[in-house]
Amino acid sequence: MPLRRFLSFRDFDWALLGLVLLLCSMSVLEVHSATVHTKFASFGTRQIFWVAAGVAVMFIFAKIDYHRVIDWAPWAYGAGLLALVAVLSPLGHKALGGRRWIKLGPMLVQPSEYVKLILILAVARYFANLGGRSVTWRDILKAFALVGVPMLLVLKQPDLGTTLTYTPILIAGLFLGGINLRQSLILLTVGAVLVGGVWTSGKFLKPYQKARLTSFVNPQNDPRGAGYQVLQSEIAVGSGGIWGKGLEKGTQTQGYFLPIPYTDFIFAAFSEEHGFVGAFFILLLYFLILMRLIQNAQTAADLPGSLIIMGIVAVLTFQIAVNVGMVIGLMPVTGIPLPLMSYGGSSVLFTFLALGVAMNVRMRRFVN
């Protein structure tokens, strides 16, 4: 049987695509509701465009052999570093207190989002090339350098939220790559010391970033300042009740009390308008999507395929946990978007690109 025919889209994970598109439809619905009475009323239509573009690139990447994509990883890694450096140069576009975008015609591109996928591929390639042998300290240090360089460049923008999303990629790679318990405990100890040093040095975190990271503990201490976002988000989630207030009827969302309800706090806006039932439905969709991806990782034909999908799972799980925890006051406000729900072209395209690579791994699970 010809390889092309064997790798037809009948092996495509249509169930996963259905779950993803259902989640995206909820996103479009809420983005429209959160912006319909504002100057950003076109964002709902734009989100449809980004989702359509994402689906297209997903099908394209699903047909490109992921082994070939892994071979491109070193070149993509170098291009990603150059893009991050360009963001810090005069070519970078500054907005919302940070220089995180490059303007390409009418579009703003956020390279740090696409670097996540590049790092997933680079880390998968690195640990796969170790050949399954025991991981040495030299191997661990190289992995830290591989992920640490782009982390520092993104932190310089400054974009603490995206910087943190690179961490689960490294953790997943180390865990699946064969790190032992002793090495893990030493790394946790060193990490705790470094975090304490970064916090007290004042060289890496801006004062407003520290305020955002601590305000969730006692937001009432500064209800009009650092604690404002957390308080308004908690009010929105709580006021939704069981069934919600209805589309375009959320008082916190429509009254402009809830900050940026179409991006960082879209889960709070959705919870206010669709209640506990709606919020539970969204979390159930995420659970099913992640379980489907993990199943595909388990059936992958080789270690690189498993590493790629589990890297994607690690990033998505981290973003979901941090964003949802943020809006209910259990996690710091970091500006991490909710995958496939928050408005934004770069975030949506990254997720679909990652899903396209994961689909390719699934479609080749029976290929020797």
Averaged pLDDT for residues 54-83: 93
Above pLDDT 90, what percent of the chain? 51
Instruction: Report the candidate in 201, 129, 121, 135 with the shortest Cα–Cα distance to residue 169.
Output: 121
**CA separation for the pair 304, 136 (Å, rounded):** 19
pLDDT, tens digit, 9 for 90 and up, residues 1-49? 444 544 567 788 999 999 999 999 999 999 999 998 888 888 999 999 9
Degrees (nearest 5) of the Cα angle 137, 139, 143?
Answer: 115
pLDDT of amino acid 70: 93
Neighbours of 47 (CB within 10 A): 25
pLDDT of amino acid 172: 92
Assign 194 a pLDDT band (cuts: 50, 70, 90). Answer: confident
pLDDT of amino acid 208: 65
Assign 202 a pLDDT band (cuts: 50, 70, 90). Answer: low
Lowest-confidence segment of 117-131, 192-206, 221-235, 263-277 by average pLDDT: 192-206
pLDDT, tens digit, 9 for 90 and up, residues 123-177? 999 999 887 778 889 999 999 999 999 999 998 887 888 899 999 999 999 998 8
Structural domain boundaries in the chain: 38-363
Neighbours of 105 (CB within 10 A): 6
pLDDT, tens digit, 9 for 90 and up, residues 209-220? 666 666 666 666
pLDDT of amino acid 215: 64
pLDDT of amino acid 367: 63
**CA separation for the pair 241, 269 (Å, rounded):** 13
Mean pLDDT of the chain, nearest integer = 87
pLDDT of amino acid 214: 67
Between 158 and 268, the more confident residue is: 268
- Answer for the pair 101, 95: CB distance below 8 angstroms, yes or no: yes
Averaged pLDDT for residues 192-208: 73
Above pLDDT 70, what percent of the chain? 89
